Structure 1
Amino acid sequence: MTNKLDVSAAALVLAAGGSRRMGHPKAALSWCGNSLLALAVRRARELSDRVHVVVGGHYPLIRFRCAAQPDRWVVNPDWADGQAGSLQRGLSSLPGGVTGAYVLLVDQPAIDPEFWPSMRQAVEEEVGRRPVAADLDGMAGAPAYLPRSMWPAIARLHGDQGAGRLLRRLDTRLVAAPGAVQDIDRWADWQRLRALRKATPCRPR
């Protein structure tokens, strides 16, 4: 898969968290025949032909259980310090020629499959220069596209700070993302999503 126009974006999957509140490695949970991490990697492939996965907690277990392989595994030894460090390591692992990076999380399996082509189309229409993000009830959030112009500000984040607060201050283009707000934080969230999945058959993608 190649990117259109002069957009040469990579994709990052952030999977370094310790899942402390979950009590189980989220990335290894099964959804529609995939681990959540494998599902995220396959979705990332719909956005870019270069996919890096940032890992830390529960590594290498989640790699062993992931049937879909990225182009590079990026190990963050300081993963317990929060998401900012994992995002920064992921971005620094990308080649210098990319215009920006799509960022995906492993805990949003209920996102409608039609979101991914819509996200990529929006980035291409903006020629990779404008931030693009999922519309989370009117607020910008993950998954998101972070143009290179944002990276210096991201480098100044720390702890559990993510790119969301930056996206909300910028002229970010929002893309409808049904299911994106149904993320997995605790075991009760997972049980609720499993019940929803049983009521809605898996769609091939």
Structure 2
Amino acid sequence: MAGLCGVILAAGESTRMGHDKALLSWPKDSASSTLLSCAIRAFSDHCELVLVVGGKNAETIAPVIYAKGASLIRNPAPERGQFSSLQTGLHEVLNRGRDSAMATLVDRPPPAAETLGKLVSTFERRDHDVWAVVPEYNGRHGHPILIGREMIELFLNAPASANARDIEHAHQRHISYVSSADPLVTTNVDNPQDYVSLE
């Protein structure tokens, strides 16, 4: 397990969706499984702990989180944006005595188990100067990202107005990009049209 701690960002208000994306059915025809519950289950296979960062929706998503054995971490100011939720989650990773994380957004459907296994294996075998492992599909970088202590520190020391992508790009020489045939690594459910178009 490499001491990995899963971090799922679920504090967004889902204004474009009109419904909390964390609670969307996944697979779409499921009556009981959601994007959030599937992400927790997928991460639990590779992570010692799974943390879900919630915001104003914390009470709504809490039952799903606890039912799957994960922990709820509250972003006290989710209006500061997605990066502040990542920082909130990563602070807790360090507080829990871990120094590596697998992070994703709740509106990114979890990729196949084989895909996650390949990413974790690559992360476990990384050289000392590789601080992160990122999946890539058709030339596009995706999720989840696996990050070591060095990248965690960079994220935590950045201003809340920063974003993960810019920090990653500034340190590309320390990132291992893993080619994947799994389109889910770059799939994003941002609005109802995105959700309807998913197979």
Calculate the TM-score normalised by the size of structure 2.
0.84
Taking structure 1 as reference, are residues 141 and 181 closer, same or farther at Cα in structure 2, changes over 3 Å only? closer
Q: Does the 8 Å CA contact 1:100/1:147 hold for their aligned counterparts? A: yes
1:178 correspondence with 2:159: no
Q: Number of aligned residue pairs: give it.
A: 187
- Aligned position for 2:102: 102
CA–CA separation in structure 2 for the residues paired with 1:20 and 1:108: 16
Taking every aligned residue pair, what percent have the same amino acid on both sides?
Answer: 28
* Partner SS for 1:102: strand
Structure 1, unaligned runs of 5 or more: 197-205
1:126 correspondence with 2:126: yes
- Aligned position for 1:21: 16
Q: Which structure 2 residues correspond to residues 1-205 of structure 1 after superposition, within 5 A?
A: 3=1, 7-32=2-27, 33=30, 34-66=33-65, 67-70=67-70, 72-95=71-94, 97-109=97-109, 111-126=111-126, 129-155=130-156, 156-159=158-161, 161-169=162-170, 170-171=172-173, 172-175=175-178, 176=180, 177-193=182-198, 196=199
Cα distance, 1:24 vs structure 2:
0.8
CA–CA separation in structure 1 for the residues paired with 2:82 and 2:69: 22
CA–CA separation in structure 1 for the residues paired with 2:138 and 2:167: 17
Q: What's the CA shift string for 1:119-166, capped at 9, x where partnerless?
A: 11011111685310121432433210121111232121424x432222
Q: What's the CA shift string for 1:9-39, capped at 9, x where partnerless?
A: 2111111111111111000111134111111
* Partner SS for 1:133: strand
Structure 2, unaligned runs of 5 or more: none
Choose 129-138 or 20-29, whichever is displaced more.
Answer: 129-138
Taking structure 1 as reference, are residues 110 and 99 closer, same or farther at Cα in structure 2, changes over 3 Å only? closer
Cα distance, 1:110 vs structure 2:
6.1
* Partner SS for 2:186: coil
Q: What's the CA shift string for 1:87-136, capped at 9, x where partnerless?
A: 11111112454231110221122633321111110111116853101214
Q: Return the letter of the residue paired with 1:180.
A: V
Calculate the TM-score normalised by the size of structure 1.
0.82
Choose 161-170 or 25-34, whichever is displaced more.
Answer: 161-170
Q: What value does the CA root-mean-square deviation take over the aligned residues?
A: 2.0
CA–CA separation in structure 1 for the residues paired with 2:21 and 2:120: 26
Q: Does the 8 Å CA contact 2:132/2:147 hold for their aligned counterparts? A: yes
Choose 182-191 or 60-69, whichever is displaced more.
Answer: 60-69
Q: Return the letter of the residue paired with 1:151.
A: I
